[in-house]
Structure formats: structure tokens, C-alpha cells
Structure 1
Amino acid sequence: MTAAPPVSEIASTWNHVLLLHARVESRLGTALQRRHGIGLSEYRALGHLAASPTSELRMQELADRIGLNQSSVTRLVARLNAADFTYRDLCPDDKRGVYTVITEAGRARYAEASQTYEETLRSALEEAGQADPALAAAVTALAGALTRG
């Protein structure tokens, strides 16, 4: 049996970032679902829509911003529509183009959930850095952004 090649420093660091990401995403998703009845992808979709100057995005653009494929973003938007957080609109210039538009209820839910997101993010990063010294460097790298943001 041959020994595995050594892991490079950059690969090791990346693995720690991925571990940190997984832990934090889990905490964020759980907090948003419990307190606001929305998942992490729904929260992020509402955030991108709320930040859009026109309060709308093409479905493909929304998929790209969230990192989902077309099928997944279609299901996500269907859930947001069912909750009256968004609605679909056709592009007036291109009838094949479908937009997702945020509603006032969607803006309100996003605003409510934003405080939970920020609090949970800070707490999850702090705890991860304290619990696992290997993650402390990744957390430290984000600390400057957290104190400025």
C-alpha cells in the first residue's frame, strides 16, 4: 500500500475554509428556518431581489447569483411565490424571459431575517474559531470584514 501524497498548504487551508463554510451554513440555515420559516437559499434570493434597483431579476441571473441550477431555482422561486414573497413577470421585450419580482411581504421577511442572519453568522464564526484551532486562521481572515461590515 502506497502512502498518500502530502497535502499542500493551500489545499489544507482550502479544506479548512470548506469545513468552516459547512459549519456556518448549517447554523445559518437552521436559524433562518426556525425563526423565519425560510431556508438559506430563499433568504439569499430575497436579498438579491431586494438589492436589485428594479426589484426583479431574470430567473437565470438569480440562479447564477445564488449558485443554483435552473431546475433548483425554479423550485426555489415556486416556494417564494407560494409564500407571496415574490411573483413571476414576463419580459415585455422577450416573452421567453421570465423575471422574479420581490413583493413587500418578501422585503419585510428579508428585513426581519437579516438580523438573525448577521447575529448567527458572527456567533457561528466565533464559536468555530474557538472550538477548532485549525479553523481559527480562516476565522481571523474574516474578522476584519466582520468588524468593518
Structure 2
Amino acid sequence: MAAQVRSGEVADDAQVWDRLLGLHTLVESRLATALQRRHGLGLSEYRALALLDQAPDSELRMQELADKLRLNQSSVTRLVGRLNAAGYTYRDLCPDDKRGAYTVLTDPGRTRCREARSTYDATLTAALEEVAAEDPALAALLTTAREVM
């Protein structure tokens, strides 16, 4: 990322990164709060359900889920344990490799995910719009990101 110019000064990479982390922290906090309050889901739980909802046959190997969520194996095991206990997923053994395990989305899990999706989308958009209104440089970055993605 190129250095940013603000008030005649050039921001170094650490300053740019700190601003991006601030944006990330704000958005993640808003998403986590909204999902927990309205749907009783943690942010990682919602993201796991969303990944499973989009996956072929609504299932992913545990390691693949961990990789997509960017969580370690221990964290995703606990996460899936919570989803299983809530009835949103179940564990299935891999037919080709009995050591491998899949996490499979249930109908109640699919319903909970789809109910929460509109909250996630609306909260995300609102948080990004708020930041864009307060910070022209981040507004420009968000506009560029939306155009190229």
C-alpha cells in the first residue's frame, strides 16, 4: 500500500496499518454486538454457519473450516462444539478417511444463518458508512475497494 498524504505529511506504513486496524476493530465490534443481541450468535459462529451454508452439500472438513475462518484447530473444535450443542451443525466422519471429520449444517442452522444474514449485512454497511462519513481518506479507500472487488 502506498503511503498516504494528509495535511502535507506522508503517513508511514505503521500509521496506515493502525488506521486500518482501527476500522477493522470498530466493524468487528459492531458486528459481534448486533449478532449476539439479535440472534444469540458469536461472530465466528455466524461466519462458520455462512461458510457451511455456501459449501457444497452444506459441509466442510474441520481443517478446511479452520482455514477459511483463520482459526487454529483447537478454536474451531470448540466453535463447532457450540454449534453442535445448539443443533445448528453435526459431526460426520469422512467416508474415505475415517480420521477426517466434517461439520455439516442442519436445517435449524441454515435458518439461523439466514435470519442473521440481514443483520450482518445491515450492520456492516452502517458501520462502514459511519466511518466513511467521519474520515475522507477511509471513505476513498472503501470506494476503491468496492470498485475493485
Q: State whether TM-score is above 0.5.
A: yes
Q: Does 1:126 align with 2:139?
A: no
TM-score of the superposed pair, with normalisation by structure 1: 0.86
Q: Aligned partner of 2:89: which letter? A: T
Q: Aligned partner of 1:69: which letter? A: N
Give distance in 2, aligned partners of 1:41 and 1:120. 15
Aligned-pair Cα RMSD in Å? 1.9
Q: How does 1:1-149 map to 2 (within 5 A)?
A: 8=12, 10-144=13-147
Q: How many Å apart are 1:13 and its aligned residue?
A: 2.8
Does the CA contact (< 8 Å) of 1:16 and 1:138 recur in 2?
Answer: no
Q: How many residues align?
A: 140
> Structure 2: any 5+ residue segments left out of the alignment?
1-9
TM-score of the superposed pair, with normalisation by structure 2: 0.86
Q: How many Å apart are 1:86 and its aligned residue?
A: 0.1
Does the CA contact (< 8 Å) of 1:86 and 1:101 recur in 2?
Answer: yes
Does the CA contact (< 8 Å) of 1:126 and 1:139 recur in 2?
Answer: no
